[in-house]
Amino acid sequence: MDILNLPEHIRILEELLLHQDFANSPDQLEAMISEDFREIDSRGRQVSRDEVVRWLLNKSPDSRWEFSAFEVRQLGPGLVLATYQARQIKPEGASGGGAMHSSLWQEKKPGRTWELVFHQSTRLE
């Protein structure tokens, strides 16, 4: 993939994880999240891959988040760090100040497939 398109591609993947209704396409979700995925939630707890997948499969399809300050840094060949702020805007009043997020994405098939390998969120006041 052309490096000039990489930040946009990663942003699309991040938004897809939160906005897509995976209830009818769990295989698509499974393919996006690495088997050895790790998460640290906004309370500092380590969360299992299964818990994250379950949450993504069961979240309301009407929920929406607003992204800002989105940045992508290439850490090495096929490894990028995405950082951004996200605030849930639907349903109304769902989230206060939102959260700061960081995600590590690893390229599994050059130029085609990226998997989420790590995610952390920190609540903002």
- Report yes or no on 26 lying in a domain: no
- Report yes or no on 51 lying in a domain: yes
Residue 102 sits in a domain whose CATH number is 3.10.450.50
Supply 97's token pair: 């100040």
Question: Of the candidates 87, 86, 91, 54, which has an alpha carbon nearest to the alpha carbon of residue 70?
Answer: 86
Distance CA 101, CA 121 (A): 4
Number of domains, the chain: 1
- Report yes or no on 30 lying in a domain: no
CB 79 within 8 A of CB 105: yes
Residue with tokens 């590590």: 104
| pLDDT tens digits along 30-51 | 999 999 999 999 889 999 999 9
Q: Residue 82 forms beta bridges with which residues?
A: 72, 103
Domain residues for 56? Answer: 3-20+37-123
**E runs forming strands in 15-98:** 33-40, 46-47, 64-76, 79-90
- Report yes or no on 25 lying in a domain: no
| pLDDT tens digits along 52-102 | 999 999 988 888 889 999 999 999 999 999 999 998 888 766 657 789 999
* pTM score: 0.87
